[in-house]
Amino acid sequence: MTGKHVAVVLSGCGVFDGAEIHESVLSLLALARHGASYQCFAPDIAQHHVINHLSGEEMDETRSVLVEAARIARGDIKPLAEFNAEAFDALLLPGGFGAAKNLSNLAFEGPNCSVDPYLESAVNAMVDASKPIGALCISPAVLAKIFEG
């Protein structure tokens, strides 16, 4: 992987309403340990909802997917709308319910879901360029929806 540049798409911060933190951080660590660089991206949208990860209860507040994902990326993150497939060798989608709630509405609509248009564009651009895409946890289901069309 040495010298490769990977785009990592996050869906917020927290397993129940964003990107799964362990999957995200350990993926970034694995990339770095194998000599790859990475750039994190996230949609610049409001989260579907906010979950209190201590109680599991929904909270009455609004949070930004991009701002929450910046917690994992330590501030080094860009809006998904700025993704350019030519700049990357691979694309990685960590899991967490944010993939099914913020990158898509899979959690609510099942097989009739829709996918964030910027994510769909990024995935299709990588496919068109014959570049690899990795997906963890529930993220493969979001990819399946993109590939179905």
Q: Which residues are CB-contacts of 80 (< 8 A; sequence separation ≥ 6)? A: 9, 41, 42, 43, 44, 116, 118, 119, 122
**146 phi and psi, to 5 degrees?**
-65, -45
40 annotated active-site = no
The residue from 13, 40, 113, 137 that is catalytic is 137
Pairwise CA distance, residues 148 & 35, whole Å: 34
The residue type of 89 is: D
Of 73, 74, 55, 52, nearest in space to 63 by CA: 52
Catalytic residue list: 137
